[in-house]
């Protein structure tokens, strides 16, 4: 599979293909960015596939997706005299692929980077599409650039290193792809839930869905915004809880809650039937635990959507469903409507 003229390899051939890419004469140095978790569980799997390299280890967690962590990476690149023919290999989940890609895209005005995603979330979403970035002042991905990786190498064996909660977090993005672009997959694949034996086929189909959308709109000026379904409310909820120690949730958990809220908004506008809304709710609640917050927090959570990157001035632009399998982008919503959707979610059993 080719992805925007860059190689994407999914399956058992991924790591051998990575080795081939890194052995090209045009590669002067190799830097591998990991976090504490991927260093322990995933680096031993990758290390035999790597030529000589420099390891850069960061703490694990969304709270470290910051400019301070970028400085650690940039310092290591600078101290090792990395030139513009160096390659950064990002081994990790969405935090590492986003942050490592951003560091590479901005070092010396841009050096090549390769994504080796180790979580389901990163394999189906964060590592492909050319978005890089970090959080800033508590807002998700507030600072970043569009920059395509030189390659993405996806080996499903890394999923064995995940606990059930992390696996389900990534599954939310798979479901999102079904809801915005593949009604047939939602009707059939959801019967298995996360009890999947062949993750490679699920990943490949999900990446292909994203590929079609991103190729049509690489810089998110239009169609690509459909990929943000669940994220307007989800990012606001995630940012709110991330700022409160002990209440942090995973990205996919926030997106699942956001999809329920935005499905409700879709139904309120007559875009989604009550039967479709109910099928989405029954399925998502069969997989995901309910995100906990109190009703009085709905308004301050909703106000964080005013910082959403899809907005136009003070208008909050949301992606809504026009039936299962079709999405509409740039749908204006108000803070009051988002707060009401959160209160609806809070009432669901």
320, 211: one domain:
yes
209, 258: one domain:
yes
139, 36: one domain:
yes
User: Exposed, middle or buried: residue 111 (CB in 10 Å: 0-12, 13-18, 19+)?
Assistant: buried
304, 184: one domain:
yes
Number of domains the chain is built from: 2
Dihedral sign for Cα atoms in the order 291, 39, 121, 141: positive
pLDDT tens, residue order, the chain (349 aa)? 443 347 899 999 999 999 999 998 899 999 999 999 999 999 999 999 899 999 999 999 999 999 999 999 999 999 999 999 999 999 999 999 999 999 999 999 999 999 999 999 999 998 888 999 999 998 989 999 999 999 999 999 999 999 999 999 999 999 999 999 999 999 998 887 787 888 999 999 999 999 899 999 999 999 999 999 999 999 999 999 999 999 999 999 999 999 999 999 999 999 999 999 999 999 999 999 999 999 999 999 999 999 988 888 889 999 999 999 999 999 999 999 999 999 999 999 7
18, 56: one domain:
yes
The CATH number of whichever domain residue 258 belongs to comes to 1.20.1090.10
Of 164, 125, 280, 8, which Cα lies nearest the Cα of 271? Answer: 280
152, 198: one domain:
no
| Domain range for 68 | 2-161
The CATH number of whichever domain residue 11 belongs to comes to 3.40.50.1970
295, 222: one domain:
yes
- Tokens linked to 261: 């809220």
275, 316: one domain:
yes
Domain boundary among 123, 138, 161: 161
């Amino acid at each position: 599979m080719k992805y925007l003229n860059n190689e994407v390899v999914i399956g058992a051939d991924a790591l051998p293909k990575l080795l081939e890419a890194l052995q090209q004469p045009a590669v002067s140095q190799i830097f591998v960015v990991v976090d504490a978790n991927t260093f322990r569980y995933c680096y031993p799997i990758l290390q035999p596939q790597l030529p000589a390299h420099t390891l850069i280890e960061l703490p694990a967690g969304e709270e470290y997706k910051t400019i301070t962590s970028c400085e650690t990476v940039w310092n290591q690149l600078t101290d090792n005299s990395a030139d513009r023919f160096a390659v950064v290999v990002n081994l990790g989940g969405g935090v590492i692929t986003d942050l490592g890609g951003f560091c590479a895209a901005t070092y010396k005005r841009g050096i090549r980077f390769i994504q080796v995603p180790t979580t389901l979330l990163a394999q189906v979403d964060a590592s492909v599409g050319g978005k890089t970035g970090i959080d800033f002042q508590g807002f998700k991905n507030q600072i970043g650039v569009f920059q395509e990786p030189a390659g993405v190498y996806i080996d499903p064996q890394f999923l064995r290193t995940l606990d059930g909660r992390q696996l389900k977090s990534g599954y939310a993005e798979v479901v999102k792809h079904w809801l915005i672009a593949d009604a047939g997959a939602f009707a059939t694949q959801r019967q298995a839930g996360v009890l999947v034996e062949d993750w490679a086929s699920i990943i490949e189909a999900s990446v292909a869905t994203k590929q079609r959308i991103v190729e049509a709109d690489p810089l998110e000026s239009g169609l690509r915004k459909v990929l943000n379904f669940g994220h307007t409310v989800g990012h606001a909820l995630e940012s709110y809880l991330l700022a409160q120690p002990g209440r942090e949730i995973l990205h996919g958990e926030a997106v699942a809650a956001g999809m329920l809220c935005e499905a409700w908004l879709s139904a309120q506008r007559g875009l989604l039937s009550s039967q479709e809304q109910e099928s989405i709710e029954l399925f998502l609640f069969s997989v995901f635990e309910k995100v906990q917050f109190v009703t009085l927090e709905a308004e301050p959570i909703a106000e964080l959507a005013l910082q959403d990157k899809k907005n136009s001035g003070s208008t909050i632009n949301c992606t809504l469903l026009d039936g299962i399998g079709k999405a509409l982008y740039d749908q204006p919503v108000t803070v009051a409507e988002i707060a009401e959707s959160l209160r609806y979610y809070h009432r669901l059993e």
